[in-house]
A and B are shown apart, each in its own frame.
Chain A
Amino acid sequence: MVSEATNTLKKSVFWDWMTTVDHKKIAILYLLAGTLFFLKAGLMAVIFRIQLIAPEMEFISGQTFNEFITMHGTLMLFLAVTPIFFAFMNFVVPLQIGARDVAFPFVNALGFWLFFLGGLLLSLSWFFGGAPDAGWTSYVPLASREFGGVGIDFYVLGLQISGFGTLVSGINFIVTIINMRAPGMTMMRLPLFCWTTLLTSILIVFAFTPLAAGLALLMLDRIFDAQFFIPGEGGNVVIWQHIFWIFGHPEVYILVLPAFGMISEVIPAFSKKRLFGYTSMVFAVLIIAFLSFMVWMHHMFTVGIGPIANSIFAISTMTIAVPTGIKIFNWLFTMWGGKLTFNTAMIFAASFVPTFVLGGVTGVMLAMAPVDHLYHDTYFVVAHFHYIIVGGIVLGIFAALFYWYPKMFGHKLNETLGMIMFWLFYIGFHLTFFIQHILGLVGMPRRVYTYLEGQGMDTMNFISTIGAFLMAVAVIILIINIVYSALKSEPVTVDDPWDARTLEWATHTPVPEYNFAQTPQVRSLDPVFYEKIHGNGKMKPAEPLDDIHMPSGSILPFFISLGLFIAGFGFISFHLDLFISPYVLIAIGGIVTFGSMGLRSMQTDHGYHISKETVEEMEKELS
């Protein structure tokens, strides 16, 4: 895979991956783990769509249905899409800004292990009395100690741990993008993907911390009998909704901004044109990021907050459509008059545009507070956010996968299989979700495990499920494609297989451990393209060739996370009948975590150097 050929320190493969702090390897770990959660959550969706294929089915029980929709949503948002984004961010952002690594390689690894073990903790719920079942929003009182089962404890602690990982990764990306840019890479020359990574990370810092607070409150309520959400004891259930959506709405933008960035890379590359309106694109994402904190109450129109608040939040919600519209036009104008190549990456990116518009239009419809009483908690909302999440985010991810695959793995994915997959997925997606708008309008409530015959819902549900099958087949074809291409594809030996524009295409394939032998001097937006036109096609170095300093690997990120995993399980086990006392588990976990942190701060890590000669040798071998 990526850096086997270039790995200078000899270690066993397993140990190497457990201790790696190399952003490119961490990217692969994120991609693998995120894909596993994606497949798991997707499988659940197929199963509960089968349950809904006909009225009064008894394929799974109502309880299982609730557990599946909860886990589906939670996994997809927190443990599938976010990590897959982190995979691309980790791999691409340092290359795009001309850096040798991220700002905090150790923290980067820590972020991965926290996410992964947090996700594992959440998934353990299946073996200890059932998964969480109160929806991905876990509203109280449904999720409070009186009504929610032990699954909710797994939800609270699993998300707490993985959310902490997301938070530290976000901090790492912010510092990386601000401090580690190569000479000449000014903020207004940053590729859009870096901009959106920066803004997503900022949103993470301000949104995941309220989530952490909210989850802590719910945990204290459930495990230590606090009274935050118990109305009889002076508590208040609406507070949970506020906290959740103060996190939750920025979260949806945390997810969509990187997808914006991805297609802003793919579309110019295959239109052979620079991104139209770069500056307005940057300002549009800035405004969107800011506004995303001003709209959370649109999820609570029906709670009864009052007409004034509802009006204010309706208007602020609608204003987000303005910067979003700017972006849509810029993508269209980038393609307009370009030399278009419709390969798989491009067709995914291009089809993002119309589907995302549909999601935005229903968003504005939902933002009209009075009418929202009709839509709220029906399949109309489900259709809305899937147009954004699948039609926007997942299409963006597929575009990015096909686009960056050769840089990450040294060969392209098969185009024929890619196109088949695209059409299956695209048709399947619209079949599944378009019809759900109408289902919602005729009154089908969301999160209900079955329906009666003869209410005008039978055919539409049937069509929706068939669409889900098509999407599942498309994902299977993607997996076949990955295996097939690994075996059959020509290795990519050139640096720049797509004739693209940004700095990641100036590195060798496979990317050597140190990324750039010499830090490049950036002279323009789209620097690689600039050098192709105005230079000799190679980046000019900004420094002489010298020894390269690298951070050394460490197993401590794994142990810090493992300790939290054990302690988290300890907290949950207050509600389990285990042979071991919860306090013992919490103590062990605490010792492992704080011990590892202490060890880390006591050891002096100078990293190691790759000598100039080795670098020269590797450069010769790779070019």
Chain B
Amino acid sequence: MADTADLSKGLPTNPEKATLEGKNKFLGMFVFLAGEVTMFATFFGTYLGLRDGTAGGPEPADLFQLPLVFIMTMILLTSSLTSVLAVYAMKKNQFQKLKLWMWVTFLLGVSFLSLEIYEFVEYYEHGLGYTSSAFASSFYTLVGLHGAHVLFGLGWILLLLLRYRGTGVTLSNAPKFYAFSLYWHFIDVVWVFIFTVVYLMGIGA
């Protein structure tokens, strides 16, 4: 089941799906993300059900600052773009470019996460602790879970970049970089929903 594709003419155009193992990873990742969608949907539903339950504590409109969230959104969207550029380079067998764009993605992810931590600290100082109210708990849980996903993704890409720093694009690492990029897009899409449902609706309401 290993690298059974014909390599006599160089790397195939879709190295991530050239082997059965690659195809399996590809499909498996999609199915996994489908499950993640329902999991996040549950947390979104819970947040929507509880966001008015502020129990006299701070309310969404008192806290959320659009400029900060906007910058965070832009950073994450850009990181999604850079991961596309990386995969694009991978398909053309340009390994240095792949690495470069993945490192950029990584750094953008780190800055997003730092801003999120800053944001949480800020809210905490405004009196929104995790246990302040049902709104607080569901807000921190939903957004924090997304943050945890970002953190996991950062660890993942770091591991891939370190391990494959000198190998070039191969049929066994292409599916892995590809799976990571799928995951990263997914995180990005979730953030778009958080941006809308949590922040825009929170400020508008």
Contacts and interface: CB of A to CB of B under 8 A. Distances in A.
B163 A601 contact: yes
Nearest to B54: A234
A77 to B, nearest CB: 19
B187 to A, nearest CB: 16
Interface in A216-241: 216-217, 220-221, 224-228, 230, 232-236, 239
Interface in A252-300: none
B46 interface: yes
A172 B53 CA distance: 40
A164 to B, nearest CB: 11
A598 B158 CA distance: 11
A243 interface: yes
Given A104-B28, A179-B24, A234-B52, A220 B35 contact: no
A205 interface: yes
B27 interface: yes
A188 interface: no
Identify whether the interface residues of A are mostly helix, strand, loop, or mixed.
helix
B43 A213 contact: yes
A208 interface: yes
A178 B131 contact: no
B137 interface: yes
A606 interface: yes
Contacts of A175: 24, 27-28, 31
Contacts, number: 125
A549 B1 contact: yes
Contacts of B8: none
Contacts of B172: 604
Nearest to A247: B42
Contact of A213 (B2, B34, B42, B155): B42
A206 B20 CA distance: 25
Nearest to A201: B31
B46 A243 contact: yes
A227 B49 contact: no
A214 interface: yes
A175 B35 CA distance: 14
B66 interface: no
A228 B50 contact: yes
A602 interface: yes
Nearest to A213: B42
Contacts of A210: 38-39, 41-42
Interface in B40-84: 41-43, 45-46, 49-50, 52-55
A71 interface: no
A174 B38 CA distance: 17
Contacts of B41: 210
B23 interface: yes
B134 A209 contact: no
A167 interface: yes
A275 B41 CA distance: 39
Given A205-B34, A209-B42, A217-B141, A234 B50 contact: yes
A610 interface: no
Contacts of B55: 227, 232-234
A607 interface: yes
A239 B141 contact: no
Nearest to A246: B42
A522 interface: no
With most chain A CB atoms within 10 A of its CB, the pick from B20, B50, B134 is: B134
A368 to B, nearest CB: 28
A103 B28 CA distance: 9
B43 A228 contact: no
A606 B172 CA distance: 10
A549 B130 contact: no
B23 A225 contact: no
A209 B145 CA distance: 14
B31 A227 contact: no
Contact of A235 (B28, B50, B155): B50
Interface in B1-42: 1-2, 20, 23-24, 27-28, 31-32, 34-36, 38-39, 41-42
A53 interface: no
A212 interface: yes
B131 A602 contact: no
B49 A209 contact: no
A39 B131 CA distance: 42
B136 interface: yes
Contacts of A607: 1-2
A171 B35 contact: yes
A167 to B, nearest CB: 6
Given A179-B23, A549-B2, A225 B131 contact: yes
A103 B24 contact: yes
A207 B42 CA distance: 11
Contacts of B38: 205-207, 209-210
Contacts of A208: 35
A239 B49 contact: yes
A606 B159 CA distance: 19
A599 B159 CA distance: 10
B134 A230 contact: yes
Given A209-B38, A228-B50, A233 B133 contact: yes
A549 B39 CA distance: 37
A104 B50 CA distance: 39
Contacts of A604: 172
Contact of A206 (B35, B49, B53, B135): B35
Interface string B148-180: 000000010001100100000000100010000
Nearest to A206: B38
Given A178-B27, A205-B35, A212-B39, A227 B52 contact: no
B137 A227 contact: yes
A179 B20 contact: yes
B138 interface: yes
Contact of B46 (A171, A217, A225, A230): A217
Interface in A102-161: 103-104, 107
A232 B133 CA distance: 9
Interface string A186-212: 000000000000000000011111101
B2 to A, nearest CB: 6
A220 B137 contact: yes
Interface of B: 1-2, 20, 23-24, 27-28, 31-32, 34-36, 38-39, 41-43, 45-46, 49-50, 52-55, 130-138, 141, 155, 159-160, 163, 172, 176
Shortest 3 CB-CB contacts between residues of A and residues of B: A234-B53, A234-B134, A226-B137
20 contacts: A103-B27, A103-B28, A107-B28, A205-B35, A209-B39, A213-B39, A224-B131, A226-B130, A227-B131, A227-B136, A227-B137, A228-B50, A228-B137, A233-B53, A233-B55, A234-B52, A234-B53, A598-B159, A601-B176, A604-B172
Given A174-B31, A207-B38, A227-B134, 13 more contacts: A175-B24, A175-B27, A179-B23, A205-B35, A209-B38, A210-B42, A214-B42, A220-B141, A224-B130, A227-B133, A234-B54, A239-B50, A594-B155
Interface of A: 103-104, 107, 167, 171-172, 174-175, 178-180, 205-210, 212-214, 216-217, 220-221, 224-228, 230, 232-236, 239, 242-243, 246, 549, 551, 594, 598, 601-602, 604, 606-607
